Amino acid sequence: MRTFLIIWSGQFVSAIGSAMTQFALTIWVWQITEQATAIALFSFFFHFPQFFVALFSGILVDKFNRKHLMILGDTCVALCTITIALLYSTNNLLIWHLYGLAAIYGCFGHIQNLAYSTSITLMVPKQHYTRASSMNTLVLQAPAIIAPALAGILYSVNGLFLIIAVDVTTFLIAIGALLLVEIPQSSPDKTDTNNSENETIWQKIAMGFRYIFFTPSLRAMTIAFSLFWLFHQIGEVLYEPMILARTDGNAQVLGVVVTAAGIGGAIGALILSIWGGFKRRIHGMLIGFIGSGLGKIGLGLGQKQLTWIIAQLYSYANVPLLLSSSNAIWYAKVSPAIQGRVFAADHAIGMIIGTIASLISGPLADRVFEPAMKSRGILASIFGSVFGLSRTHGDK
């Protein structure tokens, strides 16, 4: 576990810097546009190119040194962040720059994440798969506890530049942690090696999809997770602009709600790290679906800051349970020698879902449901008393 803990520590620190930059950029874009679509397009450009990278990344991860791929991914992501800082400091930063850099960031971040996730089974004993996965979920959730507050303070002092400087420093720490350790490489699967010699590149790419399709348990999990993830991601894309719209762009309120989500995720991950999860991991995945979904419903129905805080805290407290349980099943079901291609196929499906959610969420909010929920909208008379009426920025 020592190697895993060193790498995990570097990723944790790096995630704090990334969360600060993401929060600050969301505020910057909202101040310029005041449109949910502009923010949703970040998610679209982040996810969409990853689908094409995911088709080949599995082959790379199964063939090349995973430590080197992680360093490559972290380095390229850091360069994207530095580019944003340079454009901002020279007053040349435009929204379309961020969309292009988000695409590059997402692609190399995907390679780094895939190399990292497929190395876990080589660094961690089987009985600790759920625990290690919950610690990785902590990396995703815990930075939200402190990142909004730090970003808010630094943003008021020096805008984006100081925040990005912190982010780049955290990337260097993550790369330094990787340089300190050696990550074991998986032994080639003899059967897979013999088959690969006679396969075309497209057959190798399709291998991961075939494996999922012809493994009933993984196929069922993929279908269930995809259906959940579509609506979850729509909520993820829209909740920040929703809160900004309902609070006249109050970044402090948004920061508190984002922090509540981080606290909920951290609490859930810590409990799971100690407990170890359900013996039947599928139960943890399903209970996590239900809990997270109920929290998101409460967030959408809420009109006050306290309601949003409680809803996000509860929703994210369930996220580690569903992600860790799901990941532990994948770790146990798929041989390390082919995890790169199989996990890449699963990630590619997730990218499709994330892209669809990002593409439709902004226009649905700005052009369909917001107009429909105005005082004379077609849905106002039906749902207005429950959800409240929509107001434009100039409404009193």
Tens digits of residue pLDDT in 153-172: 787 777 678 888 888 899 99
Is there a contact between 235 and 300 (Cβ–Cβ < 8 Å)?
yes
Show the tokens assigned to 233: 């991601």
Task: Select from 43, 42, 115 the least CA-distant residue to 76.
Answer: 115
Q: Which H or E run includes 299?
A: helix 281-301
Model confidence over 197-219: pLDDT tens digits?
566 777 777 888 899 999 998 99
**Alpha carbons 359 and 42: distance in angstroms, whole number:** 10
Length of the chain: 396
Is there a contact between 328 and 130 (Cβ–Cβ < 8 Å)?
yes
Q: Distance from CA of residue 83 to its chain's centroid?
A: 22
Model confidence over 281-325: pLDDT tens digits?
889 899 999 999 999 999 988 888 899 999 999 999 998 888 888
Q: What is the mean pLDDT of residues 40-57?
A: 79
Range with the largest mean pLDDT of 115-119, 186-190, 197-201, 222-226: 222-226
Domain 2-184+200-387 has CATH 2.60.120.10: no
Q: What is the DSSP letter of 395?
A: -
Concatenated DSSP letters of 105-148: HHHHHHHHHHHHHTTHHHHS-GGGHHHHHHHHHHHHHTHHHHHH
Lowest mean pLDDT among 60-64, 127-131, 168-172, 376-380: 376-380
Is there a contact between 4 and 123 (Cβ–Cβ < 8 Å)?
yes
Lowest mean pLDDT among 64-73, 141-150, 185-194, 326-335: 185-194
Q: How many CB atoms lie within 10 A of CB 212?
A: 21
**Alpha carbons 378 and 374: distance in angstroms, whole number:** 8
Q: Is pLDDT above 70 for 389?
A: no
H helices present in 302-379, as ranges = 305-333, 339-363, 370-372
Q: What is the mean pLDDT of residues 139-146?
A: 75
H helices present in 118-250, as ranges = 120-123, 129-141, 143-180, 190-197, 201-213, 216-246
Show the tokens assigned to 189: 């699967």
Model confidence over 279-289: pLDDT tens digits?
888 898 999 99
**Alpha carbons 394 and 107: distance in angstroms, whole number:** 39
* pLDDT value for 386: 55
CA atoms lying within 13 Å on the CB side of residue 90: 6
* pLDDT value for 85: 86
* pLDDT value for 382: 61
Q: What is the mean pLDDT of residues 136-165?
A: 77
> How does residue 393 score in pLDDT terms, banded at 50, 70 and 90?
very low
Task: Select from 13, 84, 27, 38 the least CA-distant residue to 255.
Answer: 27
146 Cβ neighbours under 8 A, 6+ residues apart: 16, 259, 262
Pick the more confident residue, 50 or 116. 116
> How does residue 35 score in pLDDT terms, banded at 50, 70 and 90?
confident
pTM to 2 decimals? 0.66
Q: Is pLDDT above 50 for 110?
A: yes
Q: Is pLDDT above 60 for 93?
A: yes
- The position carrying tokens 């790169």 is 340
* pLDDT value for 381: 64
Q: What is the mean pLDDT of residues 237-242?
A: 84
Percent of the chain past pLDDT 90, that is, above it, reads: 16
Question: Which pairs count as long-range contacts for 363-369, CB under 8 Å and 24+ apart, including other chains?
Answer: 363/37, 364/234, 365/36, 365/37, 365/40, 365/238, 365/241, 365/242, 366/35, 366/36, 366/37
**Alpha carbons 155 and 301: distance in angstroms, whole number:** 30
Pick the more confident residue, 118 or 288. 288
Listed by start position, the domains of the chain span: 2-184+200-387
Task: Select from 134, 142, 125, 160 the least CA-distant residue to 12.
Answer: 142
